[in-house]
Structure 1
Amino acid sequence: MGAAETVRDLLAEHGRTYADEAGITLRDKPAPLYQLLVLTLLSSARISADIAVASAAELFHAGWRTPERMRAATWQQRVDALGRGGYRRYDESTSTQLEKNADFLLTRHHGDLRRIRPGRDGSVDDLVAALTDFPRIGPTGAGIFCREVQVVWPEVGPYFDDRALGSARELGLPADPERLASLAPRGRVADLAAALVRAG
């Protein structure tokens, strides 16, 4: 099977971003970008992606789609929502981290992640560095955020984190981001990155 066919099959089977699966309509606006940050925080723990997505959806269903609302929720309310999503192993510490994360965003960036968006001359490395300043977001989490945000911040792309590139190698696809992106239909690089992570 050629590279084009492999990509076509990947997208047919797994081609949906995690943000989309969590019910986030990603736009270059403060609330959906914050929701992606929440999903990133949840995905940064040693827990399955499905549980992270389900738990993010529970938090958003409870109405905590902005840092102000997340911070205003009680610790126990957040724990209960995480539990409903299946996020039980880390629910108590994560509830605390969600509050710290929201507080950091409000204090440092006035609640708006667009303040860390790379400019035309900006570096993705600078974005990763800004993201890892957030409580509980490490390099892996920053990679998840970059992988998903390229849908609305095209200057971040083509972005494939280490897990996506490892999966590409295993499938015989190019491990060079530019070459790999060239195999994706227009506008579907983030879908391909997510599909590679799922396939891996």
Structure 2
Amino acid sequence: MLVLANLLSARIKADIAVSAARALFEAGMRDSRSMARATWQERVDALGKGGYRRYDERTSTMLGEGAELLLDRYDGDLRRLREESDPAKALRRFPGIGPTGTDIFLRGVQVIWPEFHPYVDRKALDGARRLGLPASPEKLAGFVTRREVPLLADGLVHATLDKPMADAVLAAADRA
């Protein structure tokens, strides 16, 4: 999830970021140890195979440094980050993870890290407002099951980023 948050937070299409994450996984970089053991070039090659070419060299460096940090500070177990007094702040210690990456990560892990439920960040709340939905994480979470909150939040982010899609959703709702 941390790798995906890193890739998705760059200015690159989401489908390319997901493809690059899949390519890293398929190349054997499935955890912090294997990511750290991989060479810089192996990471660049996997990112390129996934179509992630614009930031591949910089991202390879960040992924390697992030894997080393995870190994050194948390013994390779990201779940230990939860023990920090401020896990969101701790996430931003990882290269390439800023506020956007932190939001992406926490949206995704809230199902298994219940202390973050419901995690509906500012960008998702902007999408909710655009669609005429409540701008409250608790009210939005009430529309779906606990497991569906990350999907709802991701959809609301899409509504923020893609005005034509949001307009199509509103038009469909008017017709319904």
Structure-1-length-normalised TM-score = 0.76
Residue 151 of structure 1, CA deviation: 1.6
Aligned: 1:141 with 2:101: yes
Aligned: 1:45 with 2:10: yes
The one of 108, 111, 118 equivalent to 1:151 is: 111
Looking at structure 2, the residues matched to 158 and 101 of structure 1 have their Cα atoms a distance apart, in angstroms, of 27
The one of 144, 157, 177 equivalent to 2:137 is: 177
Residue 45 of structure 1, CA deviation: 1.1
Moved over 4 A (4+): none
Residue 58 of structure 1, CA deviation: 0.4
Aligned: 1:115 with 2:80: yes
Aligned: 1:68 with 2:33: yes
Looking at structure 2, the residues matched to 141 and 174 of structure 1 have their Cα atoms a distance apart, in angstroms, of 24
Residue 175 of structure 1, CA deviation: 0.8
Aligned: 1:188 with 2:152: no
Larger radius of gyration: 2
- Give the SS at the match of 1:117: helix
Name the residue aligned to 1:128. Answer: 88
- Give the SS at the match of 1:39: helix
**Structure 1: runs of 5 or more not aligned:** 1-35
Residue 96 of structure 1, CA deviation: 0.8
Residue type at the aligned position of 1:197 = V
Residue 63 of structure 1, CA deviation: 1.1
Contact 2:24–2:46 under 8 Å retained in 1? yes
Name the residue aligned to 2:127. Answer: 167
Identity across aligned pairs (percent)?
A: 59
The one of 57, 66, 73 equivalent to 1:101 is: 66
Name the residue aligned to 1:29. Answer: none
RMSD value, Cα = 1.4
Contact 2:36–2:64 under 8 Å retained in 1? yes
How do residues 10-25 of structure 1 correspond to structure 2 at under 5 angstroms?
none
Looking at structure 2, the residues matched to 186 and 87 of structure 1 have their Cα atoms a distance apart, in angstroms, of 32
Looking at structure 2, the residues matched to 186 and 102 of structure 1 have their Cα atoms a distance apart, in angstroms, of 30
Residue type at the aligned position of 2:35 = M
Looking at structure 2, the residues matched to 162 and 186 of structure 1 have their Cα atoms a distance apart, in angstroms, of 19
- Give the SS at the match of 1:101: helix
Aligned residues: 160
Looking at structure 1, the residues matched to 83 and 73 of structure 2 have their Cα atoms a distance apart, in angstroms, of 17
The verdict on how the C-alpha distance between 1:101 and 1:186 changes in structure 2, with shifts beyond 3 A counting, is: closer
- Give the SS at the match of 2:118: coil
Higher helix share: 2
Relative contact order (alpha carbons < 8 A, sep ≥ 6): 1 or 2 greater? 1
Structure-2-length-normalised TM-score = 0.86
